[in-house]
């Protein structure tokens, strides 16, 4: 077989693979973006729920349902959970930004 013919075959096969593979790669990027958006939406909902819990604990302190010490312990735990959610949101935002 001629070297030129072999080279032409390799180029044609490479072109076909590139043309066929392009939509498949684009679909993968879209799915990754969609998954990232779902994760961010869930984290946003968890963040708002955690903020609501913190406000409820502060109201319980003001109304006398919680002692100062109980509130301090609960508030520290709720704020630590909120910080973990915020970090996860930051990470998810960074991952979503990296998807080309």
Three-state secondary structure call for residue 99: coil
Angle at 28 between CA 25 and CA 33, to 5 degrees: 130
Angle at 72 between CA 68 and CA 75, to 5 degrees: 130
Q: Each residue of 19-58: pLDDT tens digit? A: 777 766 665 555 555 657 888 999 999 999 999 999 999 9
Give the list of residues 6+ apart from residue 54 with CB closer than 8 angstroms, or none.
75, 78, 79, 82
Query: For the chain, what are the domain ranges?
Result: 3-98
Q: Each residue of 84-99: pLDDT tens digit? A: 999 999 988 776 655 4
């Amino acid at each position: 077989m001629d070297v030129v013919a072999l080279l032409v075959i390799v180029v044609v096969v490479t072109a076909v693979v590139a043309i066929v593979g392009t939509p498949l790669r684009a679909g993968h990027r879209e799915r990754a973006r969609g998954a990232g958006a779902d994760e961010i939406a869930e984290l946003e909902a968890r963040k708002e729920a955690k903020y609501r819990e913190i406000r409820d604990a502060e109201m319980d302190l003001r109304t006398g349902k919680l002692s100062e010490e109980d509130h301090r312990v609960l508030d520290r735990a709720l704020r630590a959970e909120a910080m973990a959610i915020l970090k996860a949101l930051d990470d998810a935002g960074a991952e979503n930004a990296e998807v080309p």
